Amino acid sequence: MSPSLQSELKQRKPFGSLEHEAMLSIARTAALLEHGTSEALKPYGLTPTQYNALRILRGAEPEGLCRNEVRDRLVARVPDATRLLDRLEEMRLVVREREGDDRRFVRSRITRAGVDLLRPLDDVIQALHTAQLGHLGQRKLRTLVGLLGEARKQP
């Protein structure tokens, strides 16, 4: 049996409600999983958000995406997608080009260096996910995915 969240957090008093405990459990689990991802990406010089943006742009090849399309597809929302893309461009992992008559419309595309950086990371991240969640088995993972999807629905 896994340790209770209450004991993990060394909390002496019971949670105020089951919803409160569920929210803290989701947040704690996300933080631990995210930390593992951050550590796995560190040797490659990427943050989880940068990695996510590169994967989004790789999936949008060859057309690329505008800044707002990248922003809207990110797993974790960022306040300034322009700065995120600026950093990736400085790292030569992304290239941006103005298109059409509207000078405000800028399309971002992943570079060959970005694709080459992601290639080994595919296996690294898959191995990490397997280590983090594989012990649950396929049935429990499907249930977890379904429950989390339900939790994201707006009432």
The residue-averaged pLDDT of 145-152 equals: 93
Q: Are 70 and 81 in contact (CB under 8 A)?
A: yes
Q: How many CA atoms, within 13 angstroms, populate the side-chain half-sphere of residue 19?
A: 1
- Inform me whether the pLDDT recorded for 103 exceeds 70: no
pLDDT the model gives residue 111: 97
The residue-averaged pLDDT of 96-120 equals: 88
- 31-142: CATH class: mainly alpha
The model's pTM is: 0.87
pLDDT the model gives residue 98: 83
pLDDT tens digits, 123-147: 999 999 999 999 999 999 999 999 9
- Inform me whether the pLDDT recorded for 27 exceeds 50: yes
Distance, in Å, from the CA atom of 89 to the CA atom of 84, rounded to the nearest integer, reads: 9
Q: Are 125 and 62 in contact (CB under 8 A)?
A: no
The mean pLDDT value of the chain amounts to 91
Q: Domain map of the chain by residue range?
A: 31-142
pLDDT the model gives residue 77: 87
The residue-averaged pLDDT of 83-96 equals: 96
Q: How confident is the model at residue 1 (pLDDT cuts 50, 70, 90)?
A: very low
pLDDT tens digits, 30-79: 999 999 999 999 999 999 999 999 999 999 999 999 999 999 999 988 88
* Core vs surface per residue 30-63: b (16+ CB within 10 A) or e: eeeeeebbeebbeeeebebbbbbbbbbbeebeee
Distance, in Å, from the CA atom of 6 to the CA atom of 125, rounded to the nearest integer, reads: 30
Percent of the chain with pLDDT over 90: 74
pLDDT the model gives residue 11: 84
